[in-house]
Structure 1
């Protein structure tokens, strides 16, 4: 395989092996000395390899943190969405003939799919549901108390 087609890890491995071989075998050093390779250049190459290794480790750690944060966000979103879906279904049934409440609770449209729109929609729902005492009163007949609405809004705040 051509050197240019190799991935970065393979290229670094080849360079590291070449440097180690030159250091272990003096006859190789004698032959490449004509091309201005000396101990100083080998040290420079070793330094570059060490720097690349450190940068690679740092990058991998950052990627792991990013994946973990994404997983946590997704889990929190799923939990919030599950609770919101149930509460929203009950609210749609309770207020289906009351257009003012339907608008106030953002029940007229389909649930948003993007996180930004979801947060906007759910924030409107919980803020307006808790602001109007009539809404929790009507929902409480179906097992959705003010405390539950507040708990779901807290979950939403954690997601933000």
Structure 2
């Protein structure tokens, strides 16, 4: 990026507090929109966003351990155990004892869990697809760059590992 691109980048370094506040507010409202459809689906079965996040990451990384999921979600063990107990009891997640380490529990979605995860993700993909098409490819790239730049190093490493998974 010669000349104009560099100037544009430098101009972004001097955002006013009001411009930043508008960005923060846009993220809050976008998040509400992004979670609205799954929230409606989940409320019918008395689940919340923690259940959705667990289903999402178990789907993305089948066989993930409880400890890995704990680190990824950034929740307490007690909170995750409550969520996993419900998902297992309702036949959406199964856990298997580790082959090398019997203390580990590896998590997998059942066919019913896959179906629910797909329903939740389809709703979010539809919303993102519509927004991405409206914004255009350059905006999509910029949006992803902004989100990635806001991640701390540990979360960025976890995100990078997930990007490499197929699915």
TM-score (norm 2): 0.29
Structure with bigger helix share is: 1
Which protein has greater RCO, CA pairs closer than 8 Å, 6+ apart?
Answer: 2
Structure with bigger strand share is: 2
TM-score (norm 1): 0.30
